[in-house]
């Protein structure tokens, strides 16, 4: 009875509108991976109340797809899921260099054997919590892991930048042709930003495009071979010498692109 009463109370609290003080947490996205809809609903209400963005998955295969597509800041991972269990999912996340840094909290049943918890931690889980969830404890653990990840992201990004500079310098020193130099800079920049595709457009004094360079790191090279940006956008960047971050190309009024509908977000900057 006490467990049911506590969960009902948590459900009531979680349906309240998020408080303004928590708005900054919206930048964090959390993936809820559980095959039980009632658990997913409860967890999503908790996350909504705290101001987090969220996505969900109901089996192991879907979880791996969502992790790669959404790049969440944290994963709440149930162990007993169909297709691939939580241990297999965790092992594959930790084996992927692009995903291994994402913190994972295992959601376990109260009757789970200690050896299972140990296996999860050995595979790289950052923490675990047992069902039924205590909302305050779960949110405290999530906040702790996100704080650590945020600090580690800054260090990892800085280290990547520092290691990139001598590599680019070495590559450029061996090249004199402008096309070779452009391709090296473009490839390195695209890799560093974690983008799927990169373009360099060289323009003359009149604003006409004279050269195009493209690098694609995606296995499926979907879309056109060239990127046709709106001339007003190009003129704006050339005149202001300021870059532009487009979070959603589908509804951004400054972004008019033809032939590359697969692009969802982009960064445009002058050289």
Q: For residue range 38-78, what is the model confidence (pLDDT) as tens digits?
A: 999 999 999 999 999 999 999 999 999 999 989 999 999 99
pLDDT higher than 70, residue 220: no
- How would residue 249 be classed by pLDDT, with cut points 50, 70 and 90? confident
Q: Are 26 and 51 contacting, i.e. CB atoms less than 8 angstroms apart? A: yes
Interatomic CA distance for residues 83 and 59, integer angstroms = 6
Q: Report pTM.
A: 0.61
Q: Are 93 and 65 contacting, i.e. CB atoms less than 8 angstroms apart? A: no
Who's near 224: CB < 8 A, 6+ residues apart?
258, 259, 260
Count: domains in the chain: 2
Q: Which of 90, 107, 175 is nearest to 142 (CA)?
A: 107
Cis peptide before 132 (omega within 30 of 0): yes
Is residue 240 located within the same domain as residue 133? no
**83 part of a folded domain:** yes
The residue range of the domain holding 126 is 2-153
According to the model, what pLDDT value does residue 12 have?
52
Q: What order do you get walking across the sheet with 127-130 strand by strand? A: 53-57, 29-33, 74-78, 104-108, 127-130
Is residue 113 located within the same domain as residue 184? no
Q: What is the mean pLDDT of the chain?
A: 80
According to the model, what pLDDT value does residue 58 have?
95
């Amino acid at each position: 009875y006490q467990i049911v009463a506590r969960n009902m109370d948590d459900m009531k609290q979680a349906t309240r509108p998020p408080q303004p003080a928590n708005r900054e947490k919206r930048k964090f996205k959390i993936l809820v991976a559980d095959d039980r809809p009632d658990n997913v609903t409860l967890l999503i209400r908790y996350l909504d109340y705290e101001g987090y963005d969220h996505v969900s998955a109901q089996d192991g295969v879907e979880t791996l797809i969502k992790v790669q597509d959404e790049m969440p800041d944290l994963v709440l991972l149930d162990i007993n899921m169909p297709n691939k269990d939580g241990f297999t999912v965790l092992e594959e996340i930790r084996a992927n260099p692009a995903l291994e840094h994402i913190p994972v909290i295992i959601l376990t049943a109260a009757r789970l054997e200690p050896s299972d918890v140990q296996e999860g931690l050995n595979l790289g889980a950052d923490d675990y919590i047992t069902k039924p969830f205590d909302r305050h404890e779960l949110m405290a653990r999530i906040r702790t892991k996100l704080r650590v990840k945020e600090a580690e992201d800054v260090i990892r990004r800085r280290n990547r930048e520092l290691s990139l500079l001598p590599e680019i310098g070495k590559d450029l020193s061996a090249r004199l042709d402008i096309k070779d130099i452009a391709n090296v800079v473009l490839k390195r920049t695209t890799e560093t930003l974690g983008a799927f595709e990169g373009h360099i457009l060289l323009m003359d004094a009149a604003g006409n495009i004279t050269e195009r360079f493209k690098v694609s790191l995606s296995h499926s090279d979907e879309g056109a071979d060239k990127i046709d940006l709106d001339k007003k956008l190009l003129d704006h960047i050339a005149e202001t010498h300021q870059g532009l971050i487009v979070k959603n190309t589908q509804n951004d009024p400054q972004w008019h692109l033809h032939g590359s509908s697969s692009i969802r977000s982009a960064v445009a900057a002058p050289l």
